[in-house]
Amino acid sequence: MSKITAENIDFMEEWFAEKYQGNYQMHISKYSVRFVNGKDKVVLCEEMNPEVFRMYNKLKKHILENPKWQDIKESRIRFNGYDNKLFLDTSNFKDCINIDIKGAYPSALLSLGLINDNIYQQLLRLPKLDRLKAIGMSARKSCVFNFKDGVIDDYYVLESDVKNIYFAAAYKVEVMMNELKAIADKHFIFTWVDGIFLKPTIPEVRLDKMIEVLNRNGFSSTKMVIDLDIVRDGNKLNIKTIKDGSFKEFKFRDIYFKKINKDLIEKLHQRYCETH
């Protein structure tokens, strides 16, 4: 695998077009661009810990051999994702409460019976972002462009046939977040994936009930006091969390593909339109 850059994409497209007389495919996903002709394949991808790919392949093999996979593999699993922030406006909160689920997605897969403790522990040994990628890769989508005699003949979206590995975990976590939100009631601020942010006015008895609900469903958690600084700019949110004088900043935008891949898809779409 080589690094994904605009220069490498242009080079590989020219090389594949010459090698196969303009007959090949391009698969463009969130993390990679693949050039394919039969069994011949070249992959360009962003720099990533090799353990992510190894863990993804191990996780996939393990779950596909699990009889419980048959119960969910064809299910239509829907979840809202990050909609709990849609009505969040510019605001500041002092001494609010943040409850985070520890190892949320691996814990969800374990509680669903889709993985055993050995795979669970292996996932937890990865850095947080790497284990999220290892699980999230199961739901990857690719835009596939078919080239015939050097011209884009057709294109379509290809979904992973194991996407419900990620969807099942994400849905389980969202169910937990919605239960916590219901308990918080008017003290709720917003949720972000596996964490919930609460106003400092929330009674301790409600916090205890939240922890109890999480424990009952097989999730452990952490609780901390932080300050929040939230700025909304249209459909974009800039959120700073401040704890003990240090802060983290998060910016949320409604995009799926990285810019380089988004631009590539738009360019190929334009080429398709010019010949059809």
pLDDT at position 83 over 80? no
Higher pLDDT, 237 or 92: 92
pLDDT at position 271 over 60? yes
Q: What is the pLDDT of residues 20-53, one digit of tens each?
A: 999 999 999 877 899 999 999 998 887 778 899 8
**Is residue 201 classed as helix, strand or coil in its secondary structure?**
coil
CATH class for the region spanning 47-257: alpha beta
Show the 3-state SS of 137-158.
HHHCEEEEEEEECCEEEEEEEE
Of 240, 191, 236, 243, nearest to 92 (Cα)? 240
**Is residue 28 classed as helix, strand or coil in its secondary structure?**
strand
Chain-centroid distance of CA 156 in Å reads: 21
pLDDT at position 260 over 70? no
- In whole angstroms, what is the distance from residue 176 CA to residue 210 CA? 9
Q: What are phi and psi of 57, to 5 degrees?
A: -65, -40
The pLDDT confidence band at residue 256, using thresholds 50, 70 and 90, is very low
Chain-centroid distance of CA 233 in Å reads: 23
The pTM for the full model equals 0.79
Say which range, 19-33, 89-103, 227-241, has the weakest mean pLDDT.
227-241
The residue ranges of every structural domain in the chain are 47-257
Please, what is the average pLDDT of the chain? 88
pLDDT at position 255 over 50? no
Say which range, 190-194, 198-202, 259-263, 272-276, has the weakest mean pLDDT.
259-263
- In whole angstroms, what is the distance from residue 10 CA to residue 116 CA? 44
- In whole angstroms, what is the distance from residue 208 CA to residue 176 CA? 15
Please state, as a whole number, how many other Cβ atoms lie within 10 Å of the Cβ of residue 65. 8
Segment 9-18 shows an average pLDDT of 91
At 204, which amino acid appears?
E
